[in-house]
Chains A and B, each alone.
Chain A
């Protein structure tokens, strides 16, 4: 079981990801924006972070960059989950330090498959 942080301004999307992950036995914490996510990340260490890109305030890519500055999150997998699919946006995400990029709407099984790949066994 892994401790996972979900960041999305949409409550529905957070619930869908939460449902998918908790059904697979993971523990999930939700954040509605990047600032809240950073606060949570500083309070406890998560095994994985899944974030939206387009959010009010700081974007998901900025959040990735901020998290990578934290010592505890240098090597933690961070997945960007977004409707954006342009190559230049993906490049920005990769440059910021994102581990992976999943385009919404996601397939729950595919999401769990990605998690199995990026999470330590």
Chain B
């Protein structure tokens, strides 16, 4: 066994024991001759024990020193080994970072591409929906206008003509019918008036007839008077009767002519009465027919108008429903317009995320990756964390033409 000292040298235990004994005995060994023997022996015994105890102490101390030295050496060895491990770990971590940053850059590019695709698709979807709504609204508006035109008067028709609404048309039709039936009634009244006039004419003709009778009687009396005058003149020889007889003959001829004339006038009056009678019958028949037709027409027209007005009310109700539906459609479209604006605002925010935020992030990551690569550290094999980005089928260009409008 050897004891290592602080300077690293080792000494044998015997030598150390001798040195310790000398160090203990030398101070008092010069006085051995002056003390009793037993004192000297006991002193030497205790000196030996003391030397041994000192030896044990020194031994323990040297062993501690040696253990500390061994520990220090172990620590030094371990330190050297640890530094090597840390460098390797750092390399691994940087390698992982390089791989991750490359993967992240790739993913960011994919995300940008996806955002581009999403915004393009959403914008085209919005444009398509907008166009469709424009067409639908135009057609709906046209239908509503056409329907409402049935009920609305239009005084701005082409060529200055006036279009009447259905109710106005019915009212105008009813007015026309009223006018026609009124005129028919007037005709009927006129016929009755004519009949009354005919009665008056008949009365007058009867009076004329009586007058003709009177005239005929007068003519007969005049002829008889002329005849009597002629006879009386022939009996009276005292006067010149030739002139008188001639006058009487002329009077008789005139009376005969008047008689013939009254007869012919009576025949004419008879014919007139006969014609007037037939006319009166016809006129009465026509008047009755016209009156009945007018009354019936008024009844029929009244019923027809009631039915037509009822139908017009139904049409009006239907058109009002159409108008209400049109307003509701308009409100729905307004809501869709607002929703599409939200979509557009979202789209613009996505654009803002894509550029410049995503572009900045991608550039930063690329720069870090480039610097890492430039530092000479190679990525450790198998540590790149590839995170495959799952792209929706409907967002893959050319894969499908359908547009996803569910977000509305």
Q: CA of A22 to CA of B340 in the docked complex: distance in angstroms? A: 17
B370 to chain A, nearest CB (A): 30
Contacts of B137 in A (CB 8 A): 19, 23
Question: Given known contacts A19-B133, A22-B134, is B337 in contact with A12 (CB within 8 Å)?
Answer: no
Q: CA of A109 to CA of B337 in the docked complex: distance in angstroms? A: 11
Q: Are B134 and A12 touching (Cβ within 8 A)?
A: no
A36 to chain B, nearest CB (A): 18
Q: How large is the interface on A (under 10, 10 to 19, 20 to 34, 35 or more residues)?
A: 10 to 19
Interface contact tally, CB-CB below 8 A: 54
State whether the Cβ of B192 lies closer than 8 Å to any Cβ in chain A. no
State whether the Cβ of A106 lies closer than 8 Å to any Cβ in chain B. yes
User: Number of contacting residues on B, CB 8 A?
Assistant: 21
Contacts of A16 in B (CB 8 A): 130, 337, 340-341, 344
Q: CA of A10 to CA of B349 in the docked complex: distance in angstroms? A: 12
Q: Are B338 and A105 touching (Cβ within 8 A)?
A: yes
Q: CA of A48 to CA of B343 in the docked complex: distance in angstroms? A: 26
Q: CA of A16 to CA of B338 in the docked complex: distance in angstroms? A: 9
Q: CA of A13 to CA of B347 in the docked complex: distance in angstroms? A: 11
Partner of A19, one of B123, B141, B337, B347: B337
A65 to chain B, nearest CB (A): 23
Q: CA of A15 to CA of B128 in the docked complex: distance in angstroms? A: 10
Q: Are A104 and B340 touching (Cβ within 8 A)?
A: no
State whether the Cβ of A89 lies closer than 8 Å to any Cβ in chain B. no
Question: Given known contacts A12-B130, A12-B347, is B123 in contact with A105 (CB within 8 Å)?
Answer: no
Contacts of A10 in B (CB 8 A): 123, 344, 347-348
Which residue on B lies nearest to A83, using beta carbons?
B345
Partner of A107, one of B130, B334, B344: B334
* 30 A–B contacts from the bound complex (CB under 8 Å): A10-B347, A11-B127, A12-B123, A12-B126, A12-B341, A13-B341, A13-B344, A15-B126, A15-B127, A15-B130, A15-B131, A16-B337, A16-B341, A16-B344, A19-B133, A19-B134, A19-B337, A23-B141, A83-B345, A83-B348, A104-B341, A105-B338, A105-B342, A106-B338, A106-B341, A107-B338, A108-B333, A108-B334, A108-B338, A109-B334
Beyond the given pairs A16-B337, A107-B334, A108-B338, 7 more chain A to chain B contacts, judged by CB atoms under 8 angstroms and listed by A's residue number, are A10-B347, A13-B341, A15-B126, A16-B344, A22-B134, A83-B348, A105-B338
